[in-house]
Amino acid sequence: MYNYLDFEKPVADLEGQILELKKLAESGEAVDVADEIARLEKRSKDALIEVYRSLTPWQKAQVARHPDRPHCLDYVRDLFTDFTPLAGDRAYGEDNAVIAGFARFKGESVAVIGQEKGNDTQSRLKHNFGMARPEGYRKAVRVMDLADRFGIPLISIVDTTGAYPGIGAEERGQAEAIAQSTSKCLGLKVPNVAVVIGEGGSGGAIAIATANQVYMLEHAIYSVISPEGAASILWRDSARAKDAATNMKITAQDLMGLKVIDAIIPEPIGGAHRAPQKVIEAAGEQIEKGFAELAGNNMDYREHRREKFLAIGRTL
């Protein structure tokens, strides 16, 4: 059984019935329920397809935040070999919200920076729900400096509601740290790609996502502020997050049309949490394809990034 979202209730009811029938069959009672299970499984699959065929932006935001969705460390474990994490920013301390280090991808050396939300209460607290503090961004800059020095491409895995807004973070220069990380991303002499796997929230995301190529999972979101935050500012009512999500153009499909991102990575029907391995493999294939395209163009990666981001919002 999955953690069902509110709009998935028709599917939840059908899959609950299937589970009960399977328990009945396993109990050893002389009841043939195979045909009924097959019928319900088809109805469940059809209902899931129907629900996910027309998700609203707010529903996509809920899918992007699903607690069972694969997170950064899942991608690191399955896509990379010989991953060696680096800790600390050499100035203040370690930030577990940011995962950073070096690894091999398809046999080639890469730098990896990502945001980890955690998957249970203990790990979420350890990783601060993926909300980085200044030392996290300074650690990211440290890894980018090393990648640039040794000519190693960078892969960023983005999944955060935003940078941590606490008093301590502000006292230690949160805004400056985000700005420095964004600037370092833009100025890399090596190619970089970024993948938004869940939430791409505000400057907390853009700090590691100003890449030559930016990809999003099909049901991920990417925005300057959370729908709840936008609703609080625009209407002084966070309950209108649904309206904000619709108007903000936060979905992968909207952002592809606006040329903010470069490709959409498909998810299985029902979201990434229903088939994590398939999604991670698809992300790996897209990353490999992106690096191949960048390498084949023999470009100045800094100039490419400059033109890419200056072109966003231009009208002809």
Helix (H, G, I), strand (E, B) or coil at 199: strand
Read off the pLDDT of residues 24-78 as tens digits, 9 standing for 90 and up: 777 766 567 788 888 888 988 999 999 999 899 999 999 999 999 999 999 999 9
181-206 pLDDT, tens digit per residue, is 999 999 999 999 999 999 999 889 99
Give pTM, 2 decimals.
Answer: 0.91
pLDDT recorded at residue 167: 96
CA distance linking residue 132 with residue 209, whole number of Å? 14
Q: State how far the Cα of 213 lies from the Cα of 291, in Å rounded to an integer.
A: 9
Q: What angle do CA 225, 226, 229 make, to 5 degrees?
A: 85
Q: Which residues contact 266 (CB under 8 A, 6 or more apart)?
A: 218, 282
Region of 58 on the Ramachandran plot (φ > 0 left; ψ -120 to 50 alpha; else beta): alpha
Query: Alpha-carbon distance 177 to 183, whole Å?
Result: 10
pLDDT, averaged in runs of 10, over the chain (316 residues):
84 86 71 80 90 93 94 97 95 96 96 96 95 97 97 97 94 96 96 96 93 96 92 91 92 92 94 95 96 87 93 71
What's the confidence (pLDDT) of residue 315?
Answer: 56
